């Protein structure tokens, strides 16, 4: 029976053996993983814990909040506010940043999260998740401000997600590839089940919300039309389609067997570049995908190079199997 490697041991090795992460970052990631275990517990109880349905409030995105959006947000705040590793947090569900109470020592990290991704799937028992991203607080700035968070995704020091599905699985990168951990409910610990994840460069599977087709820009329409044309079309092969409407589930599938995920700009809200949020959805997912050998762009530029202007900024997302993402980028550049 191979030795089980826990998340704790993996992180200690990243700290002590490879010197890749400092102790404070290791402890922060352990706290986040523990918070995800708590969220997983609430998700699994569902109606029995009264966590389904809407909370009747709206978030800064203009979305009606689900009870679990708020519960997951609170679990992450409470778990992290006194840990001593953080200076501040930012969340999809909070208008502005959350400063660690000054009665606790301030750490040097900034934690950003989408506490509950896939909210439209909560009440129908489809996989949902939590997405997180860690940045370092810029040196020298006395306090902490929203400006400190506005760093390009390439500056992340850790990124990951936890998917609450048939298994509760945590995918994590600290810059040494992608490791996947599965929650052993008997032990209550995350156990390493995959390391150095690789996304195949080619795929026959695309993920996009097809109901928005009439609103897309020409390059995206061209790409999807060619996929739909199958083996008799210019691609010379048939494609399959998936759309879970939980980014964590679509990205986990792509990390596991390849594929391309698109949430492009569409003309329903022409002044917004896309639906997904740059800081706590696109950036962490893009780093994970790149660390697994895939690519992630907004259709034209590498997502991790984008300089954010606002905390809740949105972005178009095209990510997954490298050769497919590059094809979509080519179609955008040809359409100029």
Residues that constitute the known binding site: 92, 114, 116-120, 209, 275, 281
Q: Which stretch binds ligand AHG (CB under 6 A): 41-49, 115-123, 176-184, 303-311?
A: 115-123
Side-chain-side CA neighbours of residue 71 (13 Å): 23
CB of 113 to ligand AHG, least distance (A): 10
Q: Which is nearer to ligand AHG, 195 or 269 (CB)?
A: 269
When CB distances are held under 5 to 8 angstroms depending on the partner's kind, the choice from ligand AHG, Mn ion, none that residue 245 binds is: ligand AHG
User: What is the rounded CA–CA span in Å between residue 117 and residue 239?
Assistant: 26
DSSP element (H, E) containing 224: helix 218-229
Which residue stretch of 22-30, 75-83, 114-122, 132-140 sits at the interface with ligand AHG (rule: CB under 6 A)? 114-122
Give the DSSP letter string of 3-49: PPPBHHHHHHIIIIIS--S-HHHHHHHHHHHHHHHHHHHHHHHGGGG
Told to check if 250 binds Mn ion by CB under 5 A, we report no
How buried is 215 (Cβ within 10 angstroms: 0-12 exposed, 13-18 middle, 19+ buried)?
A: middle
Q: In what order do the strands lie in the sheet with 98-99?
A: 98-99, 86-91, 109-117, 128-136, 158-164, 168-173, 179-184, 189-194
CA nearest neighbour of 296 among 278, 275, 271: 278
Binding segment (CB under 6 A) for ligand AHG, from list 14-22, 43-51, 244-252, 298-306: 244-252
Radius of gyration of the chain (CA): 19
Task: Give the whole-angstrom CA distance, residue 206 versus residue 58.
Answer: 32
Residues from 9 through 68 that contact ligand AHG (CB under 6 A): 63
Q: Does 259 bind ligand AHG (CB under 6 A)?
A: no
* Stretch of 2-10, 117-125, 157-165, 197-205 contacting Mn ion, by CB under 5 A: 117-125
Site string for ligand AHG, 137-176 (x = CB under 6 A): ----------------------------------------
Nearer of residues 11 and 36 to ligand AHG, judged by Cβ: 36
| Binder of ligand AHG out of 194, 209, 256, 323 (CB under 6 A) | 209
- Give least dist CB 246 to Mn ion, A: 8
Q: Is 324 helix (H, G, I), strand (E, B) or coil?
A: helix
Exposed/middle/buried for 95, CB within 10 Å: 0-12, 13-18, 19+? Answer: exposed
**Residue 93 touching ligand AHG (CB under 6 A):** no
Contact between 324 and ligand AHG (CB under 6 A)?
no
Other residues' Cβ atoms within 10 Å of the Cβ of residue 108: 17
Q: Which of 26, 42, 111, 117 binds Mn ion (CB under 5 A)?
A: 117
To Mn ion, the closest distance from the beta carbon of 59 in angstroms equals 7
Q: Give CA–CA dist 159/166, Å, rounded.
A: 22
Q: How far is the CB of 304 from ligand AHG (least distance, A)?
A: 19
Asked if 114 is part of the footprint of Mn ion (rule: CB under 5 A), the reply reads yes
> Which CB, 29 or 254, lies closer to ligand AHG?
254
Does position 120 interact with ligand AHG (CB under 6 A)? The reply is yes
User: In the chain, helix, strand, coil percent, each to 5?
Assistant: 40, 25, 35
> How far is residue 26's CA from residue 37's CA, in Å, rounded to a whole number?
17
> Binding residue for ligand AHG (CB under 6 A) from 14, 90, 92, 216?
92
**Tokens read off for 185:** 């409910």
Examine residue 117 and tell whether it contacts ligand AHG (CB under 6 A). yes
> Which residues in this chain contact Mn ion in the complex, by CB under 5 A?
63, 92, 114, 116-117, 119, 281
Residues that bind ligand AHG (CB under 6 A): 63, 92, 114, 117-120, 209, 245-247, 263, 275
């Amino acid at each position: 029976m191979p030795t089980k490697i826990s998340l704790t041991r993996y992180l200690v090795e990243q700290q002590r053996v490879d010197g890749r992460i400092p102790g404070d970052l290791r402890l922060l990631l352990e706290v986040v993983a523990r918070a995800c275990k708590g969220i997983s517990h609430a998700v699994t109880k569902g109606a029995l814990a009264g966590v389904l349905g809407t909370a009747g409030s709206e978030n800064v995105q203009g979305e009606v909040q689900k009870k679990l959006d708020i519960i997951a947000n609170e679990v992450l705040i409470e778990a992290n506010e006194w840990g001593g590793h953080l200076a501040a947090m930012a969340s999809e569900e909070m208008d502005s940043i959350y400063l660690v109470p000054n009665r606790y020592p301030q750490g040097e990290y900034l934690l950003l999260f989408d506490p509950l991704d896939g909210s439209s799937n909560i009440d129908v028992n489809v996989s949902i998740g939590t997405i997180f991203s860690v940045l370092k607080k810029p040196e020298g700035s006395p306090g902490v401000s929203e400006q400190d968070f506005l760093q390009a995704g390439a500056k992340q020091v850790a990124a990951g997600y936890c998917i609450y599905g048939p298994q509760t699985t945590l995918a994590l990168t600290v810059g040494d590839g992608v490791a996947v951990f599965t929650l052993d409910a008997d032990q209550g610990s995350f156990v390493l089940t995959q390391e150095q994840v690789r996304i195949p460069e080619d795929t026959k599977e695309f993920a996009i919300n097809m109901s928005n087709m009439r609103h897309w820009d020409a390059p995206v329409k061209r790409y999807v039309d060619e996929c739909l044309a199958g083996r008799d079309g210019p691609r010379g092969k048939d494609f399959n389609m998936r759309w879970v409407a939980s980014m964590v589930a679509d990205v986990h599938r792509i990390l596991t067997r390849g594929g391309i995920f698109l949430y492009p700009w569409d003309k329903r809200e022409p002044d917004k570049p896309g639906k997904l949020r740059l800081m706590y959805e696109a950036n962490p997912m893009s780093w994970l995908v790149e660390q697994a050998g895939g690519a992630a762009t907004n259709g034209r530029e590498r997502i991790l190079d984008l300089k954010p202007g606002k905390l809740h900024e949105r972005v178009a997302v095209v990510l997954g199997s490298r050769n497919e993402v590059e094809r979509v980028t080519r179609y955008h550049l040809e359409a100029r």
